């Protein structure tokens, strides 16, 4: 009863921001992402009567507190599915230091779901895996699939899961991940920030109303491989999400001065003839979207700016898969 899975993180082009159901993690709006190879997680799960409690080891350290509790809660959900009571050992490794300020919950929960289901002998379709993963961490439901992915808030029967819009070979988009702050400086968890935004921002409803048309444009941009449309809409939706967070009470600003400097630089790069657009999640770091033919020139420009701490060049990746090399 042991299995190992590999999953990649994803970058939202149309963001998920706000939950309709906090327990089940049902979002208020559909979201669209690209699955990227920049941050991946490998997780081995073993269920055995020899374990008297669940153990979770992340990047060689035994996890405690909130990180541990979230994994145990997710294991409980999967054990319930399989009608098993066995405790598990979970060993997980990110290919990227966790302290980089890049969220790892999407790749982490997708890998955990796929590995634990296989270890428990649960035969699940990708759609079912996505639904299970969603309950561990919302955005992780998109990492079950590779390429371009849409998380459907409700399929008409009350089910919420991700679907693939196009696979990773459809379009060679590039995501230049700019590490602007190496430590997470968040005051609130994403969960808490979304809750505050929904309850208190007068802009929450306005953003939600704008989302349908942005989703349509994004689907069209992907279908037609229209980079200008994809980038313009992604940047706009990112700013809508941050405007909602900023106007909640208490207000939430995820950016630092480095983020703002970088935001101002992006239109200047475009004016120089280098097509690129930004998107930012609930943190200070930035994803710069571009096309392969412009990547080198953009990197040469970025090198001039010493406030950028690290640069990671990402391409599109495939979905979560079972692999044969166990971590223990």
Residues at the interface with ligand PMV (CB under 6 A): 12, 15-16, 31, 103, 105, 137-139, 190-191, 281-282
Question: For ligand PMV, which is the closer residue by CB, 37 or 46?
Answer: 37
Question: For ligand PMV, which is the closer residue by CB, 4 or 9?
Answer: 9
Question: For ligand PMV, which is the closer residue by CB, 221 or 298?
Answer: 221
DSSP state letter for 318: -
Half-sphere CA count of 55, side-chain side, radius 13 A: 14
d(CA 76, CA 79): 5
Consecutive H or E run containing 91: strand 88-94
Residues 6+ apart with CB under 8 A from 128: 161
d(CA 220, CA 49): 51
The full DSSP string for 16-61 is ---EEETTTTEESS-EEEEEEEEEEEEEEEEE-TT-SS-EEEETTE
Half-sphere CA count of 105, side-chain side, radius 13 A: 21
DSSP state letter for 153: S
CB of 155 to ligand PMV, least distance (A): 18
CB of 293 to ligand PMV, least distance (A): 27
CB of 240 to ligand PMV, least distance (A): 12
CB of 139 to ligand PMV, least distance (A): 3
CB of 146 to ligand PMV, least distance (A): 16
Question: For ligand PMV, which is the closer residue by CB, 14 or 75?
Answer: 14
d(CA 90, CA 47): 9
CB of 10 to ligand PMV, least distance (A): 7
Question: For ligand PMV, which is the closer residue by CB, 15 or 207?
Answer: 15
Question: For ligand PMV, which is the closer residue by CB, 89 or 242?
Answer: 242
């Amino acid at each position: 009863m042991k299995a190992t899975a590999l999953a990649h993180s994803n970058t939202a082009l149309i963001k998920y921001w706000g939950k309709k159901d906090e327990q089940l993690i049902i979002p208020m709006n559909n979201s669209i992402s690209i699955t990227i190879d920049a941050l991946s997680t490998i997780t081995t799960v073993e269920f055995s009567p020899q374990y008297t409690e669940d153990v979770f080891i992340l990047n060689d350290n035994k996890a405690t507190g909130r990180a541990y509790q979230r994994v145990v809660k997710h294991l409980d959900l999967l054990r319930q599915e399989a009608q098993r009571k066995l405790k598990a050992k979970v060993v997980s490794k990110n290919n990227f230091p966790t302290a980089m300020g890049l969220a790892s919950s999407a790749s982490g929960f997708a890998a955990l779901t796929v590995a634990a289901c296989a270890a428990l002998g649960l035969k699940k379709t990708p759609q079912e895996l996505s639904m299970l993963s969603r309950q561990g961490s919302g955005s992780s439901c998109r990492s079950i699939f590779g390429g371009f992915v849409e998380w459907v808030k409700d399929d008409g029967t009350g089910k919420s899961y991700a679907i693939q819009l196009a696979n990773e070979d459809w379009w060679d988009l590039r995501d230049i991940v700019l590490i602007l702050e190496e430590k997470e400086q968040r005051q609130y968890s994403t969960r808490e920030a979304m809750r505050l935004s929904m309850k208190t921002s007068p802009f929450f409803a306005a953003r939600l109303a704008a989302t349908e048309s942005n989703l349509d444009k994004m689907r069209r941009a992907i279908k037609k491989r229209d980079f200008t449309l994809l980038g313009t809409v992604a940047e706009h939706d990112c700013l809508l999400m941050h405007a909602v967070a900023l106007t909640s009470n208490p207000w939430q600003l995820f950016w630092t001065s480095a983020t703002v400097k970088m935001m101002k630089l992006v239109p200047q790069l475009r004016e120089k003839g280098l097509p690129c657009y930004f998107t930012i999640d609930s943190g200070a770091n930035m994803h710069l979207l571009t096309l392969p033919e412009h990547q080198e020139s953009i990197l040469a420009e970025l090198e001039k700016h010493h406030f950028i701490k690290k640069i990671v060049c990402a391409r599109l990746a495939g979905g979560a898969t079972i692999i044969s090399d166990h971590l223990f």
